[in-house]
Structure 1
Amino acid sequence: MLKSVLIICFFILVSNEASVQKTIQGFIGDSAVLPCLSTKQLKDLNAHWRYEDSKNVYDIEEGKWSPNEQDPVYKSRTETFPAEYSKGNFTLKLRKLQKSDAGSYCCFITEFSLQMCTALQVKEKQKGIQAKPDSIRGIESKAERIVSLLIPFFAGTVLLWLCEW
Structure 2
Amino acid sequence: MIINLYIMTRSVLVICFFILLLNEVIAKESTLSVQGFIGDSVVLQCHSGNVRLESITAHWRYNDVKNVYDIEDGKESTGDQDRVYRDRTEMFPAEYMKGNFSLKLRKLQNTDGGSYCCFIPNINKQQCTQLQIKEKPMGIQETPGTNRGVESKAERIVSLLIPFFAVSILFCVRVIV
Deviation at 1:146, TM superposition (A): 2.9
What are structure 2's unaligned runs of at least 5 residues?
1-12, 165-177
Give 2:33's match in structure 1, choosing from 16, 23, 26. 23
Deviation at 1:15, TM superposition (A): 2.7
Matching of residues 52-91 of structure 1 within 5 Å: 52-91=63-102
Q: What is the TM-score with the length of structure 2 in the denominator?
A: 0.72
- The residue aligned with 1:163 is none
Supply the distance in 1 between the matched residues of 2:53 and 2:30 (Cα, whole angstroms).
26
What are structure 1's unaligned runs of at least 5 residues?
155-165
- The residue aligned with 2:45 is 35
List per-residue Cα deviations over 1:18-41 (Å, max 9, x = no partner): 334211111100100001111212
Supply the distance in 1 between the matched residues of 2:149 and 2:140 (Cα, whole angstroms).
16
* 2:58 aligned with 1:47: yes
Q: What is the TM-score with the length of structure 1 in the denominator?
A: 0.77
Give 1:14's match in structure 2, choosing from 18, 23, 43. 23
Query: Aligned with 2:79: secondary structure?
Result: helix
CA RMSD, Structure 1 to Structure 2 (Å)? 2.7
Amino acid at match of 2:20: F
Larger radius of gyration: 2
List per-residue Cα deviations over 1:115-165 (Å, max 9, x = no partner): 111111111111123455543521113543434896xxx8xxxxxxxxxxx
Supply the distance in 1 between the matched residues of 2:104 and 2:119 (Cα, whole angstroms).
16
Contact 1:14-1:146 within 8 A present in 2 as well: no
Aligned residues: 151
- The residue aligned with 2:137 is 126
Contact 1:43-1:86 within 8 A present in 2 as well: no
Give 2:155's match in structure 1, choosing from 144, 148, 156. 144
Contact 1:125-1:131 within 8 A present in 2 as well: no
Identity of aligned residues (%): 59
